Amino acid sequence: MGMENKGKKIAIGVLCTILLILVIVPMLFFNEIRSLATLKVVDDYPMYQMTYHGDYGFDEFLQVGANSDRDIEKFVIKRLLKGVPIDINVTGAGCTAFVIKNDEGDTIFARNFDFTYSPSLQVWTTPKNGYASISTVNLTFAGYSKDNLPTPRGIDSFLTLAAPFLPFDGMNEKGVSIALLAVPEAHMSIDENKITLNTTTAIRLVLDKAATVDEAVEILRGYNIYFSGDIKCHYLIADAEGKSVIVEYWDGGLQVVNPEETYQIASNFIAYNGLNIGEGYDEFNRYNTVKASIEENQGKLTREKTIDLLTQIGIYGSDGEDRLQWSVVYNLTDLKGYGFAHRNKENVKDFILK
């Protein structure tokens, strides 16, 4: 009888432990579970979409910043991933982006991301102390690869929760859009009185905090920047009013390149002061192709022509490999957009920020 009572107590204890876990775990991971539940595949290349629920602690991050990718990893592991390790691996890019009017007079921001195999994730965020946005993330930064991809509702999707800190381009609810593009050189001095950000968290800063191009530039001036993986970058930034600039880091500080026309194009070369220092690939050919198309169409592009242009300027490697990983178009006027993966014009996905 004593053994029977002891067995019952053990069974009750195990049951209570299980029930406690079933109650506490959902409470601790409530927003993370909600976020991961929204993860879905929209293209088999693949391209994913997800809505991030809850606070990702960016204001906390801005208090300390990061002097290396390891610093960002530590913050993300502690704040977002509940201790699960992540290896942020920033890669370069041979990209093209442009700001133009569409045939309805709306301001559109279009960009290609060209590189080796890069699964993408479009993530919606709504921070408490910032603007809602949609951004595109290169999931190889979060440790994913062709042989290791996140599965919707699978435990292997957990690292996608780092997405708010890894945007490559995006648009916020004020109609501000930004994209990074690799360049061969950058010259930035460090101000010890400023917090330091990396390539992608600078984009998050603009998306969360800037309502205009002017605000974006002023905000960026308040921070140092380091280039993850030593891949130098510049940024194309535009807003709903149609203003655009290229932000480059040269002569020890942040420099602004204003458009010479009613449109602006960015490729993989330093544009500041007409330096035109390129990577030695086809960055100038891509720039000229975009310029010719815009001018042939009197400064306005339809949706169809924009899609065709993006696929036309996507890069192929010397080995014939298609390097165009994703294309995205943000409408800064109506806060809608569309995107597609790997030159797949047959599967263009529309989205809306609000």
- When comparing pLDDT for 36 and 280, which is higher? 36
Q: Are residues 125 and 206 in the same domain?
A: yes
More confident site: 283 or 78: 283
Note whether 205 and 165 are same-domain residues. Answer: yes
Q: In this model, does residue 11 exceed pLDDT 70?
A: no
Residues in the chain: 354
pLDDT given at position 19: 41
Please check whether residues 15 and 80 belong to one and the same domain.
Answer: no
* Shared domain check, 58 and 5: no
| Same domain as 322, residue 251 | yes
Nearest in space to 175 (alpha carbons), one of 137, 129, 132: 132
**Residues 147 and 288 grouped into a single domain:** yes
pLDDT digits (tens, 9 = 90+) for 21-30: 434 445 457 8
Q: Of 126-135, 316-325, 342-351, which gets the smallest average pLDDT?
A: 316-325
Assess whether 194 and 224 both reside in one domain. yes
Neighbours of 22 (CB within 10 A): 9
pLDDT digits (tens, 9 = 90+) for 274-303: 999 998 889 999 999 999 999 999 999 999
pLDDT at residue 50 above 60? yes
Range of weakest confidence among 70-74, 91-95, 243-247:
91-95
Long-range contacts made by residues 280-284, C-beta under 8 angstroms, separation at least 24? 280/184, 281/94, 281/315, 282/315, 283/94, 283/96
Q: 318: Cβ–Cβ under 8 A, 6 or more apart, which residues? A: none
Q: Which residue, 48, 88, 50, 84, is CA-closest to 72?
A: 88
Instruction: State residue 21's pLDDT score.
Output: 42
Residues 20, 128, single domain; the answer is no
Q: Residue 10 is part of which domain span?
A: 1-31
| Residue 20 confidence (pLDDT) | 40
Phi first, then psi, for residue 250 (nearest 5°) are -150, 155
191-218 as b/e: b if 16+ CB within 10 A: eeeebbbbbbbbbbbbbbbbebbeebbe
pTM over 0.85: yes
Spatial distance between the Cα atoms of 311 and 308, rounded to a whole number of angstroms: 5
Same domain, 69 and 2: no
Strand partners, 252: 188
Count structural domains, the chain.
Answer: 2
The 3-state DSSP composition of the chain as helix, strand, coil percent (nearest 5) reads: 35, 30, 35
Residues 172 and 56 in one domain: yes
CATH number, residue 305? 3.60.60.10
Do 2 and 97 lie in one domain? The reply is no
What is the percent of the chain where pLDDT is above 70? 91
Higher pLDDT, 84 or 233: 233
For 75-98, what is the mean pLDDT?
78
pLDDT in tens, 117-159: 999 999 999 999 999 999 999 999 999 999 999 999 998 999 9
Q: What is the pLDDT of residues 172-195, one digit of tens each?
A: 999 999 999 999 999 999 999 999
DSSP 188-219: B---TTS-EE-HHHHHHHHHHH-SSHHHHHHH
Pair (85, 152) in one structural domain: yes
What average pLDDT score do residues 347-353 get? Answer: 98
pLDDT band at 229 (very low <50, low <70, confident <90, very high): confident
